Amino acid sequence: MPDPPSAVDLYWDSTYRILYDTWMQELISEELANFWGRFNAISSILIAATATGSAIAGWTLFNTTAGKVIWGVLSGVAALFSLLDSTLGVPARVKEQSDTRTMFLELRLKLEHFCSSLPRIDVTKAEQEYDSLSKQHEDARMKAKGDVIWTKRWQSKTQLQLNEIMVNKGYASDESAESIAKTRSR
């Protein structure tokens, strides 16, 4: 009589798919939080540099025709950044993406722990943990918001980064990681 299926046999593939998606969402949120954080920092620096007091100092420093043009362009760019920063709600985006990253990071760590414990736990316990983690993943995906600046090229770059991580961690072979990259880039 054959042995009954182990927890690894029953839950590895589906857990791997959830782990992969969770890690991808974590990386996406990290990339977006970094992008919007840099945008916000540049915007703040430009706004501070062209503030009223700085503008008066700029008039005296750039008393030449070229200096006036440079200062005018710099002030215009700062005004544009200020407008975009407030219109797009950049500080809120930074916080939202940072919170999303933290949520997916915590879930990923739980999933990695579950994957490593699969060979040592019985099927009933594995089923309970898998169901809980699957529900947490579903809830996290519902809370995660996309971003208009996220491009296919950026997606592909992040995908390759994740595939390399999965290979280095021993979750996938080079061939399976390459296959995943081709499947997800379509």
Q: What is the pLDDT of residue 183?
A: 60
What pLDDT, on a 0 to 100 scale, did the predictor assign at position 60?
63
pLDDT at site 52? 63
What pLDDT is attached to residue 73?
A: 78
The whole-model pTM stands at: 0.82
* HEC readout, the chain: CCCCCCHHHHHHHHHHHHHHHHHHHHHHHHHHHHHHHHHHHHHHHHHHHCCHHHHHHHHHHCCCHHHHHHHHHHHHHHHHHHHHHHHCCHHHHHHHHHHHHHHHHHHHHHHHHHHHHHHHCCHHHHHHHHHHHHHHHHHHHHHCCCCCCCCHHHHHHHHHHHHHHHHHHCCCCHHHHHHHHHHHCC
> 37-47 burial by CB neighbour count: b if 16+ within 10 A, else e?
bebbeebbebe
Predicted confidence (pLDDT) per residue in 120-146, tens digit:
999 999 999 999 999 999 999 999 988
pLDDT in tens, the chain (186 residues): 778 888 888 999 899 999 999 999 999 999 999 999 999 998 888 887 777 656 565 566 667 777 767 777 777 888 887 888 888 888 999 999 999 999 999 999 999 999 999 999 999 999 999 999 999 999 999 999 888 889 999 999 999 999 999 999 988 877 766 666 566 554
Question: Where are the domains positioned within the chain?
Answer: 7-150, 151-186
The confidence score (pLDDT) of residue 186 equals 47
